[in-house]
Amino acid sequence: MLEISGLSKDFSGFLALSDVNLSVREGERHAVIGPNGAGKSTLFNAISGYLKPTTGRVHLSGNDITGEKPHTLVRRGMGRSFQRVNIFPDLTVHENVQAALLAHHKRMFDLFTPGAKLYRDETNAIIEQVGLSEEAARVSGTLAYGKQKQLEFALSLATDPKILLLDEPTAGMSPRETMEILALIKRIQEARGLTLVFTEHDMEFVFAIADRLTVLVQGTPLATGSPEEVRDNEDVQRVYLGGHGAA
């Protein structure tokens, strides 16, 4: 589904990614792990159109999407969420999700249809799916952090993605919030048959959810495989997991 070949990103001399090859199969939950500064976020930005890769190609469902802008990639079925909360803080939860749906249904240049009532049911369905029904009328910037991440996830879902890139979905969350979002992501991924690519620090989370892992070290993939394979890989143990198991 997603094929990355020979991808590099050079930040004026600093090679953040070098020769990354990665292949994600349809419907799988693929984790990209690695120490801080390994290039995980850069990789996501290069795939999702926020950064232009220096060399290499990215293919999505057979189409070359290298260097395409985010708004066209979304139309091709690529959704993404962000490490830091990235929502519309002055809009209510309902207005947030509705704006995403208006975009998805290409109502951007609809100048005269009153906007308030459009896609109300669809909006409510998505809000319910991520468990924010009680907060629907709240201004989203006033929500607790975990709830804002749930909303962030809802925004990505509203674009009806085939593949979803989640950049550290549990960053900054309490253990309880982490377990909640874990259950949520798993449930929705299965219900929608989504392909999931995510980065994560929390190893428990990774091993609980991922079908396959890629370990990224200094901008290069060190190993790819099932969680067991990666856990048993000697290079990975030496470089990344070290002696202390769940780093």
Partner 1 sequence: MSAARTSLLVGVLMTAVFAAVPFFFGDYGVYLGAEILIYILFALAFNLMLGQGGLVSFGHAAYFAIASYAVAILLTTYSWPLLPAFVVAVALSCAAAVVIGALCVRLTAIYFAMLTLAFSQLVWAIAFKWNAVTGGDEGFVGVSVPQYLAEPTGFFYFALAIVAVCAVLLWLITHSAFGRILRATKENPRRAEFLGINVRRIRLVTFVISGTFTGVAGALFAIFNRAVFVESAWWTKSAEVLVMTILGGVGSFFGPALGATVLILLDRLITEFTQYWPTVLAIILIAVLFFLPNGLIGAFRRGRSTGAGDA
Binding site for partner 1 (CB under 8 A): 48, 69-72, 74-75, 79-80, 82, 86-91, 95, 98-100, 102-104, 107-116, 118, 139, 155-156, 158-159
> Least distance from C-beta 78 to partner 1, angstroms?
9
Nearer to partner 1, 1 or 100 (CB): 100
Cα dihedral: 208, 214, 216, 220 (round 10): 180
Query: Which run of H or E residues covers position 203?
Result: helix 203-209
> Least distance from C-beta 134 to partner 1, angstroms?
19
> Least distance from C-beta 89 to partner 1, angstroms?
7
Nearer to partner 1, 2 or 236 (CB): 2
Characterize the bridge pairing of strands 212-217 and 55-60.
unpaired
Closest-CA residue to 206 (of 223, 226, 191, 236): 226
> Least distance from C-beta 83 to partner 1, angstroms?
13
Tally of CA atoms within 13 A in the half-sphere of 4 that contains its CB: 24
- How far is 107 from 32, CA to CA, in rounded Å? 35
> Least distance from C-beta 216 to partner 1, angstroms?
22
The b/e string for 83-100 (b: 16+ C-beta within 10 A; e otherwise) is eebbbbeeebbbbbbbbb
Nearer to partner 1, 72 or 226 (CB): 72
Check if the beta carbon of residue 155 is closer than 8 Å to that of residue 94. Answer: no
Nearer to partner 1, 197 or 217 (CB): 197
> Least distance from C-beta 104 to partner 1, angstroms?
6
Nearer to partner 1, 81 or 233 (CB): 81
Nearer to partner 1, 13 or 114 (CB): 114
Strand partners of residue 246: none
Report which DSSP code applies to 241: I
> Least distance from C-beta 152 to partner 1, angstroms?
9
Would you state the structure tokens that stand for residue 18, as one six-digit string?
């070098």
Nearer to partner 1, 78 or 222 (CB): 78
Strand partners of residue 63: 60
Q: Which residues have a Cβ under 8 Å from the Cβ of 48 and sit 6 or more positions away?
A: 70, 73, 78, 80, 165
